[in-house]
Structure 1
Amino acid sequence: MSGYLTVGENKSWTVKINSKNKSLSKTFSVCDSINNHGICRLGITKSPLEITLENVCNANITLSGEIQLCTAQSTLFTSKFLNEVIANSNPLKWTINNQTINNYVTYDVKLNLESPCYFIGKDFPNAAETKGTARKETSNITTDLEKLLTESKYFDVEIICSDGEILKCHRNILSARSPVLEAMFSSDFKEVSSGQIKLDYFDTEVVKDLLSYIYTGMPKNLEDNAEILLQAGEQFQMEALKEICGKHLIKKLTKDNVLEYLALGDKYRQQDLKEASLEMIVKNAKDMKEDTKFTEFAINNPELMVEVFSAMASKISINH
């Protein structure tokens, strides 16, 4: 599920849980009757079997609707919720007991939102009236933070890159954007006293792009760095960065790189990238199976090949 989920619109998100994928999540937008928008995340974990509906924007959101866990044959779980206030730090959770997950069955998490939807905790006098102001203010904040980074003002921590270059930045901003860095600065790590972080596995250009995301919300050179920034997003627990990189890589999918991107999508839990890769493999199955890279991939990635063959089988079933 991606894009906008408007109140009253039914969307379903198809996931496949197996022994490797312990949990999956998708982000989406909700909007109310006057076009205020917020970001939510729908997630499912295998152990314990639990569905979560999380609000990841600043304003609280009041939602009503129904959640279901289904297979192609039956509905395993249904729960309705009415006028639930979902705060940023207080997600809705449904723990599903007495259900055994089959590793080779596709499970659908279906979410239906009902009118009305309310955004509370912030002033929304009129969406049309505030949209331009909000966009301008966001632009100003982004410009100001970028200036703070590029001019190295008031810095209190240095990052040492693999090529020895030192980049100056601010630990409070790094901490706010990454739980890993926040934990590092809040503990007895030597980085706290020395004021230096060694990233000797990322070169300067990659670290600059990572900092660009941390300070402004968008890397500047995704074209060259999306794959390694995906790794960085995983390392520093920056899920939004991973999604940005995953969506960019989908645009670059070709028959030559599809196996590599399938592995990346699986390794870093980017389901959209993984599904797009599977779709391209199925679409080009005749050409792919004659490629030596496909044979090597099959040998080195047996679990992923189960999913590839399952996708191919589903395609054959639909066509017949």
Structure 2
Amino acid sequence: MSGNLTVGGKKRSSITWTIDNYSLFNTFSSKTFIVCDRDNNHGICRLGFTRSPFEITLENVGNTDVSLKGVIQFCNEQSTLFTAKFGWTESNFCITNSNPRKWTSPYRYDGSVVKLKLEPPSYIIDQDCVKDDNAAKTKDTARKETSNITTDLEKLLTEGKYSDVEIICVNGEILKCHRNILSARSPVLEAMFSNDFKEVSSGQIKLDYFNTEVVKDLLSYIYTGMPKNLDGNAEILLQAGEQFQMEALKEICGKHLIKKLTKDNVLEYLALGDKYRQLDLKKASLEMVVKNAKDIKEKTKFTEFVINNPELMFEVFSAMASKISINH
């Protein structure tokens, strides 16, 4: 989960990362930003944070190593709770792609802001300020090429040419697929193929626990990046994304379900957002429950929800209590 990353101006010595929804998750990552070190090396970095046990990380996600000196801080609105200097005693505090820097503490602090300040001549660049005269043209070409690739892969799925594995649906329909594409898109399927599981050694995989249309939608996502029938299948595709470890599919489904939120389905979607770790869906559902608590309490499924989701109900009550406190 990320938050708001503030980089003032084109070149600055510091950034402030405000972590959104701090209380809902344990691990967070910021957006990336560019740093320039004293030797004019440019690295792509991001901050990471873990609540328990407390840990702040500065990670280099690019291919260029950078040597930095500065200060990292963890704060709340009132004060600075944790401070650590880096690069002041080491002759070369180098951050590489394989060597993120970490700061830990045995204490748990009540805050949600990470600040990074670099010692000159090193500085931070907002990625939005990095210009390329050919950027617009390059992006347009890339969009067209991506569209072509999507069309070609969809044709490959539809026609089944050069397929080497078959998906057996609940109604007996056979869908011809390609192992390399399936394994590249799902760690679960990749493990099945690489370990020669019994169910794939014959060149067939049974997916008879989903209906045929859901399987086709799942394959559409695997090959093209987008399911065709989100309106009808988003809830079950969320489950499929969890089963096959497709986080991007889960995010697509979660964002789509937000658009469908009503008083009648909000409890179901709140539980789905929590179960499948979809923060935006969970947050939107929780806000709707708090805003319409009186009406939702009268729903026939409310009692069942309370019994089956005691931890979620605690979050609902906490959110309601916070709202009452703010209003008074």
**How does the TM-score come out when normalised to structure 2?**
0.75
1:134 aligned to which of 129, 142, 166: 142
Question: Counterparts in 2 of 1:277-288, with a 5 A limit?
Answer: 277-288=285-296
Match in the other structure for 2:21? 15
Q: Note the alpha carbon deviations across 1:148-197, whole angstroms, 9 max, x for none.
A: 11110110111112222111111101111111111111113114421111
Check conservation: 2:266, 2:289, Cα contact below 8 A: yes
Q: Out of 134, 137, 157, which is 1:149 matched to?
A: 157
Query: Closer, same or farther in 2 for the Cα pair 1:181/1:49, shift >3 Å?
Result: farther
- Residue type of the partner of 1:13? I
SS of 1:167's equivalent?
strand
Q: What is the aligned counterpart of 1:108 among 96, 106, 112? A: 112
Question: Residues 54 and 106 of structure 2 are in contact (CA less than 8 Å); yes or no, is this contact kept in structure 1?
Answer: no
Is contact 1:233–1:241 with CA below 8 Å preserved after alignment?
Answer: yes
- Determine the C-alpha separation between the residues in 1 that align with 2:167 and 2:181: 13
Task: Output the CA distance in 1 between the equivalents of 2:59 and 2:172.
Answer: 40
Q: Any idea what the Cα deviations from partners look like across 1:122-163, whole Å, max 9, x if unmatched?
A: xx7621121110110111111111111111011011111222
- Distance, in Å, in 1 between the alignment partners of 2:21 and 2:294 is 26
Match of 2:39 in 1: none
Matched, 1:318 2:326: yes
Residue-by-residue CA offset, 1:276-313 (whole Å, 9 max, x unaligned):
11100111122222333222211221100010001111
The equivalent of 2:224 in structure 1 is 216
Deviations 1:86-110 (A, max 9, x none): 75xx584646330348xxx7x6365
Change (3 A) 1:267 1:145: same
CA contact (8 A) 1:48 1:95 kept: no
Q: 1:260 aligns with which of 261, 268, 271?
A: 268
Give deviations 1:31-63, integer Å, cap 9, x for gaps.
Answer: 99xxxxxx999765566554567799xx75899
Match of 2:172 in 1: 164
Q: Shift of residue 12 of structure 1?
A: 2.5
Deviations 1:229-279 (A, max 9, x none): 111111111111111111001111111101000000000000111111110
- Distance in 2, matches of 1:29 and 1:261, equals 31
3-state DSSP class of the match of 1:99? Answer: coil
Instruction: Decide whether aligned partners of structure 1 residues 171 and 62 sit closer, same or farther in structure 2, where only a CA change above 3 A counts.
Output: same
- Structure 2 CA distance, aligned partners of 1:91 and 1:276? 37
Note the C-alpha offset of 1:204. 1.2
Measured after TM superposition, the shift of residue 30 of structure 1 is: 6.6
Aligned match for 1:270, one of 255, 270, 278? 278
Alignment-mate amino acid for residue 18 of structure 2: S
- What is the match of residue 307 of structure 1? 315
Q: Which has the larger displacement, 178-187 or 66-75?
A: 66-75
Q: Secondary structure at the match of 2:18?
A: strand
Distance 1:95 1:232, change over 3 A: farther
Corresponding residue of 1:200: 208
Matched-pair contact (CA < 8 Å) for 2:168–2:208? yes
* Structure with more strand by fraction: 1
CA contact under 8 A between 1:67 and 1:78: conserved in structure 2? yes
Which residue number in structure 1 is paired with residue 300 of structure 2? Answer: 292
Runs (5+) with no aligned partner, structure 1: 33-38
Question: How has the CA–CA distance of structure 1 residues 300 and 192 changed in structure 2, closer, same or farther, with 3 Å as cutoff?
Answer: closer
Q: Secondary structure in 2 aligned to 1:153?
A: coil
Q: Report the Cα distance in structure 1 between the residues aligned to 2:155 and 2:223, rounded to whole angstroms.
A: 9
2:184 matched to 1:176?
yes
- Cα distance in 1, alignment partners of residues 71 and 257 from structure 2: 33
- The DSSP-based 3-state class of the residue aligned with 1:15 is coil
1:14–1:109 CA contact under 8 A, matched in 2:
no
Q: Considering only CA atoms, is the larger Rg found in Structure 1 or Structure 2?
A: 2
Report if aligned partners of 2:6, 2:17 keep a CA contact under 8 Å in 1: no
Contact 2:3 2:19 in 1 (8 A): no
Query: Contact 1:278 / 1:308 at 8 angstroms: preserved in 2?
Result: yes
Query: C-alpha distance in 2, partners of 1:79/1:144?
Result: 52
Q: Aligned partners of 1:81, 1:127: CA distance in 2, in Å?
A: 36
User: Do the aligned partners of 1:234 and 1:242 also contact (CA within 8 Å) in 2?
Assistant: yes
Report what 1:36 is aligned to: none
Matched, 1:226 2:234: yes
Aligned to 1:35: none
Secondary structure of the corresponding residue to residue 228 of structure 2 = coil
